[in-house]
Structure formats: structure tokens, C-alpha cells
Amino acid sequence: MSPLARAAANPYAGAPRPLLPREADAPVAPAATAATREHDLDNLRAAAMMLGVLLHAGLAYAEPAQAIWLATDPRSSVVIDAAIWLIHLFRMPLFFLISGYLAHGLLARRGTGGYLRNRLIRIAAPFVLFYPLLLSASMLVVAFALSYVERPAGVMALIAREAAAAPGSRRATPPDTMHLWFLYYLLAFTLLAAPCSRWFSLPTRPAARRVLLWGVVPPLVLASAYVAGSPLPAPSSFVPALWPFGLYGVAYAAGWLLRGRDGLLLRMQPHAPKLLLACAALYVPYYALLPPLDLESVTRALEQGGGPQQPVMVRLAGAVLTVLLSAGLTLACLLLGRRFLRRENRALRLFADASYWIYLVHLPIVLFLQTLLIPWPAPVAIKLALCIAITLAFGMASYLVFVRYTPVGWLLHGRRSFP
């Protein structure tokens, strides 16, 4: 895979019944795992998907984050930059937490065999089928960008320089998973969860539980955040990295363990506003400590396969803030979803059904629109709004016409009855 496609696709993817005290921390029994619809999780997933489109669309207009993105618009905004890195802190942990929560119920309902068949159909098959199509689409967008933009900047300038180099001097880069890295690691987590499910629960003894929750998990998560660096990169290599298991794997395990502990979540709901206020205060130093992004650092990152270099103490402080903000914002989203999104909403339910499809296809569309709008002298807010609106409109229209009632939809989310 050429550096062109790699750079294009891999930027730096009614409250419940209160439980009695003895019930609150007990895992749910298999008999209690009826296939009832968790509307709050559906709605949270739809909201997180929309934030993902906003994040990728905003990267072209974020100063200085646009230096690590293919489409570098001449107009930019620090406000957009601060917004996208805030979203980046909790969006993927929230996805993995929801996935772990739902996977636990799926295993309880269908058993190990049914669980593994479902996960292979829903995760592995879409990855295998869509990867070559999305890779081809990304390469077409890169080719269009090279011929369309007169004065490329940022990553696009590096790509143009590489394309103009002699064939013998071009650097070969291995293929990566693009934005499908989420499916790549989700499949790994779900396959690991199946054989480990009998031990995948909190210790019953309070002392052992405290050792696990305060002596094992925090150092593991902090070490993973330190290795990854700030902001967290996309682990898109086909060679699995260890740090996503210590960060996103813990989020998946947390979702798994939260299944059936509605009483615990209910008791924590009053603390959601405090969590948000604390995260707002912590985000100021986190954003200030983010490394500078420029053409030189991007070139070094592409050549060495790593992020910008930072002093040890700055990197450690960034790791601590990353862990605190990711955990706090993810938990706050879950608690607020339980509080305000428990009721079924047909529009959000449809959007939740379409979210998988939009996740798969949105990135080449966003990149094409960002590139197309580069010469247009309009405010960044208008360009960003157009990118988001057109991407979501195309995603929803294509889902309703080509996916929802077809074998593609059956593959992604099961059969849906035609109205």
C-alpha cells in the first residue's frame, strides 16, 4: 500500500428498577438476559457515530491538527481543533464499552457457539468484504486530490512530493487497516472474551476486588496511554499493538462487567454533572500539553511510524490526563444516556441501524468533500456544516435504498421488515 492511501485513511475509527444492596454488584443471571432493546445504548451509538463524522470532517479545518490530515484547507480554527480532540478522548472508548456490554448479553442468550457465529458475521465478514472497496475508494480520492489542488499543504504536500519522486527512491509502506481498525480490535476483544468468559467477572472478595480495581487496572491503563502518546493515534497497523488492549480492551471489559449492574449505574447518575465539570477543568491542561503539529513532525511521524517526541514528564502528564478524561467523559456519556435516552425514538433508532453502514463508508466521502471545497473562499463553519450534512445525507440515503432491506443490511444488523 502506498503512503498516499495510508496518509489518507490513518489520521493522528424511565430509569431502571433500583436494585437491593446485595443485587447491585451481582452479575446478571442468564435467565434475566432476554433480548430486550437497550434504547439508550442504541441512541448513544448513533450519537457517537455522528460525532465521528464531525471529528473527521473537522480535521481539515482544525488548527493545527489539519497538518496530519490529507485535506488541508487554507482556512482553519483553533475552536474546531479543541473540539475534535475533546471528542477523540471518549468516542472510541464509548464504542468499545457499549460493545462489551452488548456482547455479554449476546453470550448469555446464545451461548458460546451462537456468540462466535454472530461476531464473525457482524464483524469479521464486513471487514473482509469492505476493506478492498474502501481502500480503492481512498486511493481514488488521493488521486483526485493530487490532480485537483494547485498548492497542496500538510500531508498532501508530502504525498505530492512522494508521487513526484523517482520510482526507485519511493518509500514502501505496509498496508494498514485504515479506519476499520475499530473492527480489527473489536474482533480480537470478542474472540478473547469467549474463552475467558467464565473468569471475566469481578472477584467476590472485597480485598481482591480493591487490588484489581486500584492496583492492577490503573497502572495498566496509564502505561498503555504513555506508550501510545497524546493525542491517541489510530492503531491501524495489521500488526497488533499492545497499548489498545490496555486502553480499549479495558473499556470493553468494563462494559462487559457493567452488564446487569443497573443499580450501580443508577447510584452514580447524580454524579454525572460533577464528572463533566471536572473533565472541563482537566481538558484545559490536556489541550495545552498536546505536542505541536507541523510539516516537520508529520514527516518524521510518517517515516518513523510514531508520533511527535515529547519530554518524559510532559508525556507522562499527558497520559494521566488522557486516562482521567477518557474514563470520566465515557462514564458521563453512559450515565447521561441512561438518564435521558431510555425511551425509544424512531428517528434515532433508524439512525442507530444506519450507523454501522455510515461508519464504513463515511471517510472517503468526507475526504472527497474536504478536497473539493478547498478552493472555495467560504468560512470554515459553512464548509464543515456542508461536509457533515452531505456525508450524513448520502449515508442515510444509500442505507435506505441499497442496504437496509438487502443482504448487506442482513449482514450488518440482521433482517429488517419492510414498512
Residue 30: the pLDDT is: 34
Q: Are 241 and 306 in contact (CB under 8 A)?
A: no
**Number of neighbours of residue 64 by Cβ within 10 angstroms:** 16
Residue 102, all three cell numbers: 452488548
What is the per-residue pLDDT across 229-248, written as a single tens digit (0 to 9) for each? 999 999 999 999 999 999 99
Which segment of 103-112, 367-376, 386-395 scores lowest on mean pLDDT? Answer: 103-112
Tell me the percentage of the chain whose pLDDT exceeds 70: 83
Supply the angle between the helices 312-340 and 217-228 in degrees, to the nearest 10.
Answer: 120
Across the range 165-190, mean pLDDT stands at 83
CB contact set of 66 (below 8 Å; sequence gap of 6+): 59, 60, 72, 73, 76, 154
> For residues 382 and 389, what is the distance between their CA atoms, to the nearest angstrom?
10
Is residue 237 helix, strand or coil? strand
Amino acid at 45: R
Question: For the whole model, what pTM was predicted?
Answer: 0.87
Phi first, then psi: give them for residue 237, nearest 5 degrees.
-70, 150
What is the per-residue pLDDT across 249-291, written as a single tens digit (0 to 9) for each? 999 999 998 988 888 888 999 999 999 999 999 999 999 999 8
DSSP 70: S
Residue 171: the pLDDT is: 65
Q: 3-state SS of the chain: helix, strand, coil percent to 5?
A: 75, 0, 25
> For residues 3 and 8, what is the distance between their CA atoms, to the nearest angstrom?
8
Residue 10 has pLDDT above 50, yes or no: no
Residue 34 has pLDDT above 50, yes or no: no
Is residue 228 helix, strand or coil? helix
> For residues 388 and 366, what is the distance between their CA atoms, to the nearest angstrom?
8
> For residues 350 and 356, what is the distance between their CA atoms, to the nearest angstrom?
11
> For residues 172 and 178, what is the distance between their CA atoms, to the nearest angstrom?
16
Number of helices followed by number of strands (H, E) in the chain: 17, 0
Identify whether 174 is preceded by a cis peptide bond (ω within 30 of 0): no
Residue 322 has pLDDT above 70, yes or no: yes
> For residues 374 and 388, what is the distance between their CA atoms, to the nearest angstrom?
15
CA 62 centroid distance within chain: 19
What is the per-residue pLDDT across 373-416, written as a single tens digit (0 to 9) for each? 999 999 999 999 999 999 999 999 999 999 999 999 999 999 88
Across the range 368-373, mean pLDDT stands at 96
Residue 306 has pLDDT above 60, yes or no: no
Taking phi over 0 as left and psi of -120 to 50 as alpha, with beta for the rest, 260 belongs to left
Closest to 92 measured CA to CA, from 43, 40, 45: 45
DSSP 304: H
The residue with greater pLDDT, 296 or 241, is: 241
Phi first, then psi: give them for residue 149, nearest 5 degrees.
-85, 125
> For residues 390 and 378, what is the distance between their CA atoms, to the nearest angstrom?
16
Supply the angle between the helices 39-58 and 346-372 in degrees, to the nearest 10.
Answer: 10
**Number of neighbours of residue 186 by Cβ within 10 angstroms:** 23
CB contact set of 375 (below 8 Å; sequence gap of 6+): 149, 150
